Amino acid sequence: MQLTQTQTAPMHRRRSLTDVQIQVLFIAPTIILLVLWNIFPLFYSLYLSFTEFSVIKPDVPPAWIGLQNYNKLLNDPRIWQYFALTGRYVVTTVALQAIIGFGLALFLRERFKGSGLVTTLILIPIMMSPVVIGLFWKLIYNPAFGIFNYLIGYSVPNSGPDWLGEASRALWAIIIVDVWMWSPFVMLLCLSGLKAIPDYLYEAAAIDRASPWFQFWRITLPQVAPLLLIAILFRTIEAFKTFDLVMGLTGGGPGDSTELIAVYLYRAAFTRFTTGESSALAYIILVIVIAVSNLYVRSLNRIRGEQ
Amino acid sequence: MADIELKQVEKRFGEHYAVRPLDLFIKNGEFVALLGPSGCGKTTTLRMIAGLETVSGGRIILNGQDVTWLKPSQRDVAMVFQFFALYPHLTAWENIAFPLQAEGESRENIKRRVKEVAELLRIEPLLKSRPGALSSGDQQRVALARALVRRPSCFLMDEPLGALDADFRETMRSEIKRLHILQNATTVYVTHDQIEAMAMADRIVVMSQGVVQQVGTPAEVYHTPSNLFVAQFIGSPGMNLVKGTWADNVVALPGGNRYAPPDGWPAALHRGLSGSGVIVGFRPEAVQIHPNGQLAAGVYSVDLHGSYTMLVLEMGDDHSIHARVSRDAHFTVGETIRFDLNPSMVRFFDPKTERAIAHSA
C-alpha cells in the first residue's frame, strides 16, 4: 500500500498542473515583456505628454501642466511645416512606390528566361540595413565622384547638382532612395496578387471581346487591389516614420529642408531632451497615423466586401 | 448566326496528338455535341474553335471567314465554361454587362439588353448579387446570360453542366435546349455525358484519343455505331458485344449457340469480314424472350429498374450480356432462357478492324 503511494505521488504532482496553468506559464513571459516594453511606456508617455519633464533631469519630477504641451506644439508653425513636408514626402514616395512596384510586378508576371533571378535581384534593397543604404547612397549622390550624376548624364565631375546639399533637391534625393528601397516590397505583394488571378478570367474576358486595356482596368486592377492596398498601407505607415534614411543621408538638412516629423521628434526627444513635449508630439503623430491607416482599412474592407 | 467549318484541324503537343486531323461542318443553327471520355480532345477542339488554343494545323472557317489565326475577340463567339469563369469582383449584372461594356455599347442599350437576357433566364432577382453568393445553378445561369447578351454568331459550351448537382443538371439541360430553340444559334456543346448529348444535340461527334469516331444524329450513333468504341460508349449499359466465328452462313457464339444472321447480312458479312472472327452487337432492348428462340443463356442477375427489368445473362463462361425486358416478366437466377434478337437491331463488327460491317440492303 505504501509502495503504491510513493510511486503515484510524483505522477499526482505533475497532474496537478492543469491545462490552464500550463497555458499561463507559456503566455506569462510574453505578457510581462509586452507590458514592460510596450504597454507601460505607452501609458507612461501619455502621462508625460501632459507634464513638464526631461529624462536628463531625473531628480526633477514630472510637473503636471495639462494641455500646455499640445497647445504649444499645435500653435507652432514650424511643426505644421514639418507635418506638411512629411505629408508631401509620404504621398510622393508611396505613390511612386505603388506605381513602380505594380509596374515591376506586371513585368515580372510574364515568365521569361531568368525572371526568377531578376525577381531576386530586385528584392535585394529590402534586405539591406537602412543605415548602410544611407551611407552608400551618400557616396552615390556625391557630386565629385558619385555615380548617380554620371548615370543621368553629367559625365564631368562636379558639373551635376549636389543632390543632398541643395535644399530644393534633398527631399527628392531621399524619396529616390526610399522608392529604390521599397518599390520591390510593393512589387512582391502585387506579384503574388497577380499570380493568384486565375487564367480563366482572362480567357472569359478574351471571349467577351475585352481589349487588353479593358481587361487591365476591369480584371487585373480590381483583383490585385486588396494586396496593393495592404502594400500601400504598410508603406504609408513606414514612410510616416522615416527617420533612419534621413539621418543617414542629410540629417534633416540642408537647413530644415528634409526635417521630417520623425526626425524633428528625435531631436526634441534625444538632443534637446524635452521629454514631456516630445511625448505629446509622439501622440499627435500616433493619432494621425491611426487615422490614415483607418481610411485605408476601410477602403480595403469595402473592396473585400465586394468580392 | 453562322456555319462552322473545321478543315483538317489538328493539335499536337510535341509528338503527342491531342486532336488528330479533323473535318467537321456545323450548319447554321445546329446543336452539335462533342462527346467522349476525358482526354479525348473534345475540349481542345472547342478551345481551338474559340481561339483560346492555337491550331497545329488545318483551318477553321467561321461564317465563311478564315479565323484560324484570329484572336478569340475577333471571332464573334461566346463561350460558357465548365466552372462558369464569372468575374468574382463584379455583380451578376456587371458580369452580364461586361461583354457589352467591352464593346463600348451605350448605357441605355446595355441596360435594356441585360434586362432582356435576365428575363429570358429568369435571374432578375439575382442581378445585384456577386457570384460567390449564388448557387452553382444560378452562377451557370449568369454565365449563360453573359454568353447570350452579345448575340454572338455561335455558342461554345464546355461541359456547362459538369459542375452542377445532379437534380440541377436536368433543369439546366432543358433550359439550354429551350434557349437554343429560342435563339436558334449555332451551338457546339462539349460533354462526357452521353445522356446529355443524346437529349440535346442535333448531331453528335463521338471522339476518343484525339480521333473522331463517328459523326451522326443521336439515333444514328445509338443504333448504327460505326465501330466498337461508339457501340460501347453510347448507351448505358453500352451495346452487347459477343465474339463469335463466321462459317457456313452461321455465327458460332459462346455457349454452343448458333446464330443465323437476318436477311441481307450473310452477303454483307462475306464481303466485309477480314477473317472468320466476327462480333455480334445488339442493344439490350433488341433481346426478345421466346421459348423457341435460337439463342440460349443463363440468368445471372435480375435488376428491376421500375419501368423495366434489366437482366444480366451469361452466354458461355464469361460473356455477360444485358437484356431489357418487361417489368412483368419473372425470372429466377440460374435458369436458362431462350431468346431471339430483333432482326433490325442486330449489328456486326470486324474484331480486327473494330469497324462495323455495312449492311448490304
Angle at alpha carbon of residue A150, lines to A173 and A260, rounded to 5°: 5
Q: A92 CA to chain B: closest CA distance, Å? A: 29
Using a CB-CB cut-off of 8 Å, the residues of chain B touching A206 are 51-52, 71-73
Q: Residues of B with CB below 8 A from A211's CB?
A: 73, 102
The predicted model gives A107-126 an average pLDDT of 87
Q: What is the pLDDT of residues B55-82, one digit of tens each?
A: 999 999 998 889 999 988 888 899 998 8
Q: What is the mean pLDDT of residues B120-133?
A: 89
| Contacts with A, B 88-117, CB within 8 Å | 88-90, 98-99, 101-103
| CB proximity B345 to A under 8 Å | no
Quote the pLDDT of residue B213.
Answer: 93
Q: Give alpha helix (H) positions in chain B.
A: 42-50, 92-102, 107-120, 136-148, 166-183, 194-200, 218-223, 228-233, 265-272
For the ranges A154-158, B252-256, B345-349, the lowest mean pLDDT is seen at A154-158
Looking at the domain assignment, is residue A120 inside a domain?
A: yes
Residues with Cβ within 8 Å of residue B99, at least 6 apart in sequence = A208, A209, A210, B78, B146, B149, B150
Structural domain count of chain A: 2
| d(C-alpha A139, C-alpha B96), whole Å | 57
**What pLDDT, on a 0 to 100 scale, did the predictor assign at position B1?**
59
pLDDT at res. A13: 55
Size of interface A-B (CB pairs under 8 A): 66
The dihedral region occupied by B184, where left means phi > 0, alpha psi between -120 and 50, and beta the remainder, is left
Contact A218 B90 (CB under 8 A): yes
The beta strand positions in chain B, using DSSP E, are 4-13, 16-26, 31-35, 57-62, 65-66, 77-80, 154-158, 186-191, 203-208, 211-216, 240-247, 250-253, 257-259, 277-282, 287-289, 295-304, 308-315, 319-326, 336-341, 346-349
CA distance A47 to A61: 12
Max mean pLDDT among A132-136, A251-255, B226-230, B314-318 falls in B226-230
- Comparing CA positions, the residue from B151, B131, B148 lying closest to residue B139 is B131
Q: Does residue A117 sit within a domain?
A: yes
* pLDDT tens digits for range A67-91: 888 888 888 888 888 889 999 999 9
Residue B258 forms beta bridges with which residues? B252
Say whether pLDDT at B300 is over 50: yes
Residues A28 and A177 in one domain: no
Q: Based on the domain organization, do A90 and A44 belong to the same domain?
A: no
- The CATH number given to whatever domain includes residue A283 is 1.10.3720.10
pLDDT average, residue stretch B93-112: 92
Neighbours of A37 (CB within 10 A): 10
d(CA B326, CA B236): 17
Secondary element (H or E) of residue B225: none
Helix (H) or strand (E) holding B184: none
Which positions in chain A touch B146 (Cβ < 8 Å)? 208
Q: CB B81 to CB A203 under 8 A?
A: yes
Q: Decide the pairing of beta strands B186-191 and B203-208.
A: unpaired
Specify the residue for cell string 564631368: A156
Residue B170: its pLDDT value, please? Answer: 84
Work out the average pLDDT over B101-113: 91
- Output the pLDDT for position A14: 57
CA-based nearest distance B82→chain A, Å: 10
Structural domain harbouring A187: 70-305
Do A26 and A95 lie in a common domain? no
What pLDDT is recorded for position A97? 95
Quick one: residue B248, left, alpha or beta (phi over 0 = left, psi -120 to 50 = alpha)? Answer: left
Indicate whether A107 and A26 sit together in one domain: no
**More confidently predicted of A207 and A11:** A207
pLDDT in tens, B200-209: 999 999 999 9
Residue A61 lies inside a defined structural domain of this protein: no
Nearest residue to B140 (alpha-carbon basis) of B122, B115, B116, B128: B122
Q: Does A305 touch chain B (CB under 8 A)?
A: no
> Does residue A59 form part of some domain?
no
Are A84 and A36 contained in the same domain?
no
- Same domain membership, residue A75 and residue A187: yes
Q: Is A208 on the interface with B (CB under 8 A)?
A: yes
Q: Classify residue A53: in a domain, yes or no.
A: no
Do A30 and A78 have their domain in common?
A: no
**pLDDT at residue B148, as a whole number:** 87
Strands across the sheet containing B4-13: B16-26, B4-13, B57-62, B65-66
Kindly determine whether residue A203 and residue B85, on different chains, have CB atoms separated by under 8 Å.
yes
Which tens digits make up the pLDDT trace of B160-198?
Answer: 888 778 777 888 888 888 888 888 889 999 999 888 899
DSSP-derived pairing of the beta strands B211-216 and B203-208: antiparallel
Same domain, yes or no: A171 and A215: yes
pLDDT reported for residue B318: 77
Kindly determine whether residue B81 and residue A200, on different chains, have CB atoms separated by under 8 Å: yes
Q: Region of B193 please: left (phi>0), alpha (psi -120 to 50) or beta.
A: beta
Domains identified in chain B and CATH numbers: 4-230 (3.40.50.300), 238-349 (2.40.50.140)
Q: Check CB contact under 8 Å for B87 and A307.
A: no
Is residue A270 included in any domain, yes or no? yes
Cell, residue B257:
449457340
pLDDT in tens, B312-340: 998 887 788 999 998 888 888 888 899 99
Are residue A23 and residue A118 in the same domain, yes or no? no
More confident residue, A260 or A204: A204
Query: What is the arithmetic mean of pLDDT over A124-131?
Result: 88
What are the CA-CA distances from residue B182 to residues A84, A220, B175 (Å)?
Answer: 65, 35, 10
DSSP result, chain A: -HHHHHHHHHHHHHHTS-HHHHHHHHHHHHHHHHIIIIIHHHHHHHHHTTEE--TT-TTS--EE-TTHHHHHHHT-HHHHHHHHHHHHHHHHHHHHHHHHHHHHHHHHHS--TTHHHHHHHHHHHHHS-HHHHHHHHHHHH-TTT-HHHHHTT--STT-S--TTTSHHHHHHHHHHHHHHHHHHHHHHHHHHHHHTS-HHHHHHHHHTT--HHHHIIIIIHHHHHHHHHHHHHHHHHHHHT--HHHHHHTTT-STTTT--HHHHHHHHHHTS--HHHHHHHHHHHHHHHHHHHHHHHHHHHHHHHT-
User: Does A56 map to a domain?
Assistant: no
**B65-66 vs B308-315, strand pairing mode:** unpaired
Average pLDDT over residues B27-50: 91
Same domain, A22 and A84: no
- Strand pairing category for B4-13 and B57-62: antiparallel
pLDDT of residue A268: 83
Tell which residue, B277, B321, B270, B276, has the closest CA to residue B300. Answer: B321
DSSP secondary structure letter of residue B358: P
Are A40 and A97 contained in the same domain? no
User: Using only C-alpha atoms, what is the Rg of chain A?
Assistant: 27
Condensed to tens digits (0 to 9), the pLDDT of residues A264-301 reads 888 888 888 888 888 888 899 999 989 988 988 888 88
Please give the pLDDT value at position A4. Answer: 46
- pLDDT score of A2 more than 50: no
Question: Does A111 touch chain B if contact means CB atoms closer than 8 Å?
Answer: no
The closest CB to that of A201, out of B79, B85, B103, belongs to B85
* pLDDT at residue A305, rounded to an integer: 67
Q: Which residues contact B300 (CB under 8 A, 6 or more apart)?
A: B311, B312, B313, B314, B320, B333
Span B139-161, pLDDT tens digits: 988 998 999 888 888 899 998 88
Contact residues for B258 (Cβ-Cβ < 8 A; gap 6+):
B250, B251, B252, B294
Is the pLDDT confidence value at A252 over 80? no
User: Would you say residue A55 lies in a domain?
Assistant: no
pLDDT, tens digit, 9 for 90 and up, residues A221-245? 999 998 999 999 999 998 988 888 8
Q: Across chain A, what does the average pLDDT equal?
A: 85
Cis peptide preceding A254, ω within 30 of 0: yes
Percent with pLDDT over 90 in chain A: 30
Domain match, A22 and A76 both: no
B331 touches A: beta carbon within 8 Å:
no
